[in-house]
Amino acid sequence: MTDDLLRYRGEFPILERTTYLISNSLGAMPRGVYNSLRGYADSWAERGVRAWEEGWWEMAVGVGDQIAPLIGAHAGEISLHQNVTLTQAVIASCFDFRAPRNKIVMSTLEFPSIQYFFHEQARHGALIDLVPTTGDVGLDLDTFLAAIDENTLLVPISLVLFRSSFIVNARAIIERAHKVGAHVILDVFQGTGVIPIDVRALGVDFAVGGVLKWLCGGPGVAYLYAREDLRTTLRPALTGWLAHQRPFAFEPGPLDARHDSFGFLNGTPHIPALYACRPGLEILNHVGVRHIREKSLRMTTRLIERARAHGWTVNTPDNPAERAGTVSIDCPHAQEVSRELLTREILVDYRPRAGVRISPHFYNRQEECDFAIEQIAEILETGAWKKHAAEPVAAGNHQHTR
Ligand SMILES: Cc1ncc(COP(=O)(O)O)c(C=O)c1O
């Protein structure tokens, strides 16, 4: 079978040198980023302060409009921020945590940064209901739904769980939350660019994510979608001059707030990161998420089959409808094995309670996935993993990927 998507491989230099299977953490850099960042340097160097007027102020709108179709949003519906934690903070600042509606319902499987942020809101009155699950793969939907009640203010939940790549039943959670008057913040970070997402069809209140993983956009750009009615009724307290109706009038006093996606902004935008992310977004839109999803399912299905054939535990759902782009393989000595894979230029990562996470993307060859599995088997057979047995989990080593 010919694989049409392999024609994009030449756009990603790192694929020539490594077996790059870590797009759940940091997508490969498109070659076009060199030119894009040069464009940034040139406009700063040559146009100086005029660069703001000549494009920088408008850039975020253009980038937001490139992200919108990837999550089912319309042009103009997205505001851009520096990271996902900040998007959650901007959203949270639209609400107050006065009892009785002060409960935040979250899963223990939620990305830790989001758990940390909301726990700190306890100082403002938030009551955190951290819902446990059995095992580390899927969410116990019924237990989670039961926690959402009339006292619930916010439900921050990942569409795709970062550890297992399990796709959460967002529709059921949104339905339950809306029945009791709660708002859902859907973190689509691990889904966007690898599974189809339609935030408008879901009717979700908010969706947030970043571009550095499956969108190959590099660090520094996160997106915030707020449903149309909420854009007009809600006002973030974490705000600033870009949310003002007339930012360049520099008026003293309170904010005259905008009621569109700009209403969620605050200070000066992250211009270099906006330049860096555009080539990746262009490619992703060109490839199309439907094609990516088809290929991704073929690759992850085969990874699961092969891992099982070796007798290894797979901490990713078998059911393709519940599985996004990563396969977590808990083979013996998984941490040491993943370190040895890295020394062999096979880029993957390791997570406790997940195992070796393998994340092929549209630019990978099937043979690269097979090669990773063969190498794991060889590392176990030959005992090559033992070289890494005594290595501490030190800050700054390359296992610290997301
Ligand atoms: C689901 C999910 N949410 C959030 C984050 C991180 O958020 P931030 O952009 O704040 O670092 C990650 C990983 O980096 C993630 O996998």
Ligand 1 center to 257 CA (angstroms) = 28
Same domain assignment for residues 201 and 333: no
- Answer with the one of 253, 285, 317 that is the final residue of a domain: 285
- Answer with the one of 285, 307, 326 that is the final residue of a domain: 285
- Answer with the one of 285, 317, 349 that is the final residue of a domain: 285
Q: Is the CB of 158 under 6 A from ligand 1?
A: yes
Q: Is the CB of 166 under 6 A from ligand 1?
A: no
The answer to the question of residue 394 being in a domain is no
The answer to the question of residue 168 being in a domain is yes
- Assign residue 336 the CATH number of its domain: 3.90.1150.10
- Assign residue 202 the CATH number of its domain: 3.40.640.10
Structure tokens at 131: 């819902």
Same domain assignment for residues 180 and 274: yes
d(CA 324, CA 195): 6
Same domain assignment for residues 233 and 353: no
Ligand 1 center to 111 CA (angstroms) = 6
Same domain assignment for residues 292 and 194: no
Number of domain units in the chain: 2
Give the model confidence (pLDDT) of 64-122 as tens digits. 999 999 999 999 999 999 999 999 999 999 999 999 999 999 999 999 999 999 999 99
Same domain assignment for residues 180 and 194: yes
Q: Whose CA is nearest to atom 7 of ligand 1?
A: 84
Q: What is the DSSP letter of 56?
A: I
Contact 345, 18 (CB under 8 A): yes
Same domain assignment for residues 92 and 233: yes
d(CA 12, CA 295): 18
Domain of 194, in residue numbers: 33-285
| Index of the ligand 1 atom closest to the CA of residue 222 | 9
Ligand 1 center to 84 CA (angstroms) = 6
Q: Is the CB of 84 under 6 A from ligand 1?
A: yes
Same domain assignment for residues 157 and 243: yes
Q: Which residues of the chain have pLDDT under 50?
A: 394-398
pLDDT value, residue 396: 40
Same domain assignment for residues 225 and 306: no
Q: Whose CA is nearest to atom 8 of ligand 1?
A: 84
Q: Is the CB of 189 under 6 A from ligand 1?
A: yes
Contact 349, 399 (CB under 8 A): yes
The answer to the question of residue 214 being in a domain is yes
pLDDT value, residue 397: 40
Q: Whose CA is nearest to atom 12 of ligand 1?
A: 111
Q: Whose CA is nearest to atom 13 of ligand 1?
A: 402
Q: Is the CB of 24 under 6 A from ligand 1?
A: no
The answer to the question of residue 142 being in a domain is yes
Ligand 1 center to 83 CA (angstroms) = 8
Q: Is the CB of 262 under 6 A from ligand 1?
A: no
pLDDT value, residue 59: 93
Same domain assignment for residues 130 and 65: yes
Same domain assignment for residues 248 and 342: no
Q: What is the DSSP letter of 28?
A: P
Query: Which residues are CB-neighbours of 158 under 8 A, at least 6 positions away?
Result: 107, 109, 110, 111, 168, 186, 187, 188, 189, 190
What is the reported pTM? 0.95
Q: Is the CB of 401 under 6 A from ligand 1?
A: no
Same domain assignment for residues 253 and 358: no
| Index of the ligand 1 atom closest to the CA of residue 86 | 10
Ligand 1 center to 25 CA (angstroms) = 9
Sheet containing 103-107, strands listed edge to edge, beginning at the edge strand earlier in sequence: 78-81, 222-226, 206-210, 183-187, 152-158, 103-107, 127-131
Same domain assignment for residues 224 and 128: yes
